[in-house]
Structure 1
Amino acid sequence: MNEEIPPSPWAPDWVPDSGFQLRLAGVHFDAVRIQGQLGEEVAKSLCRLTGHGPGPIVYELTGYRWMYFLLPPHTARVRTWPAYTQRYTSRTRNASAYVGVPALSGTTWPLAWRSVPTRGAPYVDPDLLEKVTGTENA
C-alpha cells in the first residue's frame, strides 16, 4: 500500500532543514529580543492580534528563556524600542550579531518555535510589535 507523502511546510530559505543554525542578523532578518515572561506576554498579544499568525518567533528553552521576534531586514534599527528589549541588526553594537534559528521539525533543542514563519507572515510585523511593546510614536 502506498501512502501519500504530505508536502513539506513552507519555510524561508534561512530556516535550516534540521537542528538549528546561527544566522547573521541584518541579512535574512532583524530580531528584537525580549526576556522570559515579558517576551511570552508580547508573543501572546501578537498572536491574539493576528489571529494566531504573527510570523516567526523563536524562543530559548533554557536559561533566561529569551524570545526572538524576527522582523524584515533593516527594520529594527530605525525604530525606538523599550529598554527591556535588545535589537539585532546589521549594526548591533559595532559587531556582528547572530540569532539561532531552529528547523521546523525534529530535534532543535535548546531552541523552539513559538510561532513559525508562513507565506502570509514570513516576518513579524514591526509596526505591530512596536504597538504591542508600547513604543509606537514614542
Structure 2
Amino acid sequence: MALAGLADRFPRRTVMVGCDMVRTALVGLMALPGMPLPPLAALVVLAQLAEAPFAAAQGALLPAVLGEGAYARGQRLMFITQQIGQVLGFAAGGLLVAWLGPRPALAANAATFLLSAALIRTGVRDRAAAGGRTAGPGWGHG
C-alpha cells in the first residue's frame, strides 16, 4: 500500500504517533451519537488505512531498537504478542461493548490510540527517516 511508504519518508516515531492521533480522531468521531451508517463505515475504512504506515514504521524501527542480533527473536516475540493481544482484544472488546454499549466502547477505543501515541512519544527515541532523509515536496521524490 502506498501509505506504508510514509515510514521511509518521515521519522518512524513521528509516523507512529501521527497514525495513532489520526485513529484517535476517526474512532472518536465514530463514537458521536447519531452518526449515520455510511459515514461510520467510511470512518472505519479510513481508520484501518492508518494501520499500514503505523505497521511499516513499527517494523522498520524494530531492528534499530533491538540491533541485528536480537532482531529475529524480537520480531517473533512481537508477532506472538500481537496475535495474543488480538485474540484477547476481541474478547475484551466484546465484553466492553456488552457492558458499556457501542458508543462508549468506541470512545474507550479512541482513548487507547491516544494512550499509544503518548507512550510512543515518551518511550521511543526519535530517529531520522531512512537514510537520514527528510521528506521531499512530493511522493515521487527520494
* Bigger RCO (CA 8 Å, 6+ sep): 2
Radius of gyration: which is bigger? 2
Larger strand share, 1 or 2: 1
Larger helix share, 1 or 2: 2
Give the TM-score of the pair, scaled to structure 2.
0.21
Give the TM-score of the pair, scaled to structure 1.
0.21
